[in-house]
Amino acid sequence: ELRIQDISPEVRNGCQELNLSDSVLRQCMEKLRAQIDLGLNPSTREQASVKCYNTYVQDLPTGKEKGQFLALDLGGTNFRVLLITLNGRHFDMQSKIYVVPKEIMLGAGEVLFDHIASCLESFALQHRVAKKNLPLGFTFSFPLNQVGLKSGILTRWTKGFNCANTVGEDVVQMLAKALAKRDSIKIDVVAILNDTTGTLMSCAWKNHNCKVGVILGTGSNACYVEKIKNVIGFDGDTSKPHVIINTEWGAFGDHGELDFIRTPYDKEIDKHSVNPGKQLHEKMISGMYLGELARLLIIKFTKDKVLFGGQINPKLQERWSFLTEYISDIESDPRGVFKQCRNVLGKLNILDPTDQDCSNIRYICESVSRRAAYLASAGVATLINKMDIPSVTVGVDGSLYRFHPHFHNLMHEKIPELCNSSIENLCINLMLSEDGSGRGAALIAASGSENN
């Protein structure tokens, strides 16, 4: 058992600003709810940091979807092409991961879409479906103002992407244009969606109670099932009662709503990101940033001579050198054991940490990941309170949630504490999504091709 005195008081005090009480979290929730309400109304969406885009997805899966579909998944670490066969409860998938080189991530939009089309072409030829005119669902996980199921205007790049001449353009048209240059393939883009929507759909395919989709990966976002009557000026099918709303909650805080809890470390990360001032909520929560947050705290305490005898290690001084994976490793040690911790520090050329150093490092990691889990929980609780239903399954995808040893438990515990006490018999489940981006795209392509 870890003794409290093993953590230096300076570290304990210094991490205090990352420690968010329920009352602070409730303040965040109130502000988030206000932004959601602004976002749901087209006449006020401009002022909203949380845009709440209509996805035009109005049907949850029935389990009867059938056929062969292609899917593209672009939105973070990997770019994938998938061939999916659905038949009742049977699901088969072949996929291939392609690399998006850094220069393409930051290059011209046309080059990005030509690259995608060329990967798709080689995949389709290889799987002998190039000329079949298969319906394709495009999981494109960047903020998208959708105008229809197969039309979406890119509003901004996030997560390290930044391609020229693309913001304000219709992503489906850019893809279709790149595909049209290739005579050897015939593919019908029938739907564009976000990974959150894919996650919700893939979980709902298994569990009809799934009404929320959350991403905790490179970035962070959520979607939920909203009543049509709450979506002002809804221009989809008004004969159906619901629609999935893609909140784009990663941008919460971009209008100053989170300034009351942002720390100097958050500001430093933002300053050195490719999108300063943007996605501030995401920068406190998602996998792309947590390791760097921990690193900044470690550097601060080293400079204060509380860690490593004040010796600053050059490797640790490099930005992004402390991976979010390391947080998971360090927190997976049993309390008071520092095997993984020493292993991680060894990778950073810190070879002789004391137990006290390790204990402090673990506390820093816990503070960073707990704040992230609590902020994500506050977001989920805001959506559940808004839907006002007692029993909800939340589909979650992303490596941070999947691999961090305590993220699930932290959220599972915190969400009910933040839900309205007026909701009786509250029952909230968090369900890990299995490949939501791929499966979800196929499920939506299935309904998209039906409706064509």
Whichever of 38 and 316 has its CB closer to ligand ADP, that residue is 316
Q: Using CB under 6 A, which of 191, 288, 380, 396 touches ligand ADP?
A: 288
**Does 158 engage in binding with ligand ADP (CB under 6 A)?**
no
**Residue 80 annotated in active site:** yes
Binding to ligand ADP (CB under 6 A) within 186-225 occurs at 217-218
- Residue among 41, 77, 85, 118 that touches ligand ADP (CB under 6 A): 77
Q: Which residue is nearest to ligand ADP (CB)?
A: 76
Q: Which positions from 290 to 329 touch ligand ADP by CB under 6 A, shown as an x/- string? A: ---------------------------------xxx--x-
Q: Is 143 in the site for ligand ADP (CB under 6 A)?
A: no
We find the least distance from the C-beta atom of residue 315 to ligand ADP, in angstroms, to be 18
Residue 352 annotated among the catalytic residues of the structure = no
137 vs 231 by CB, closer to ligand ADP: 137
Nearest to ligand ADP of 78, 122 (CB atom): 78
Nearer CB in complex with ligand ADP: 243/288 = 288
Q: 293 or 428: whose CB is closer to ligand ADP?
A: 293
> Which entry of 8, 49, 141, 220 is annotated as an active-site residue?
141
* 400: contact with ligand ADP by CB under 6 A: yes
- Between 45 and 402, name the residue whose CB sits nearer to ligand ADP: 402
CB 307, CB 361: distance < 8 Å = yes
Cβ distance to ligand ADP smaller for residue 242 or 281? 281
Catalytic residue among 114, 170, 195, 397: 195
Interface residue with ligand ADP, options 398, 436, 440, 448 (CB under 6 A)? 398
- Could you tell me the smallest distance in angstroms from the CB atom of residue 328 to ligand ADP? 3
Interface stretch with ligand ADP, choices 90-98, 117-125, 204-212, 397-405 (CB under 6 A) = 397-405
Asked if 428 contacts 384 with a C-beta cutoff of 8 angstroms, the reply is yes
Stretch that binds ligand ADP, among 171-179, 182-190, 392-400, 443-451 (CB under 6 A): 392-400
Q: Examine residue 250 and tell whether it contacts ligand ADP (CB under 6 A).
A: no
Contact call for residue 436 and ligand ADP (CB under 6 A): no
230: contact with ligand ADP by CB under 6 A: no
What's the per-residue H, E or C state across the chain?
CCCHHHCCHHHHHHCHHHCCCHHHHHHHHHHHHHHHHHHCCCCCHHHCCCCCEECCCCCCCCCCCEEEEEEEEECCCCEEEEEEEEECCEEEEEEEEECCCHHHHCCEHHHHHHHHHHHHHHHHHHCCCCCCCEEEEEEECCCEEEEECCEEEECCCCCCCCCECCCCCEHHHHHHHHHHCCCCCCEEEEEEECHHHHHHHHHHHHCCCEEEEEEECCCEEEEEEEEHHHCCCCCCCCCCCEEEEECCHHHCCCCCCCCCCCCHHHHHHHHCCCCCCCCHHHHHHCHHHHHHHHHHHHHHHHHCCCCHHHCCCHHHHCCCCCCHHHHHHHHHCCCCCCHHHHHHHHHCCCCCCCHHHHHHHHHHHHHHHHHHHHHHHHHHHHHHHHHCCCEEEEEEECHHHHHCCCHHHHHHHHHHHHCCCCCCCCEEEEEECCCHHHHHHHHHHHHHHHHC
The residues that are catalytic are 80, 141, 195
Q: Which residues contact ligand ADP (rule: CB under 6 A)?
A: 75-77, 217-218, 287-288, 323-325, 328, 398-400, 403-404
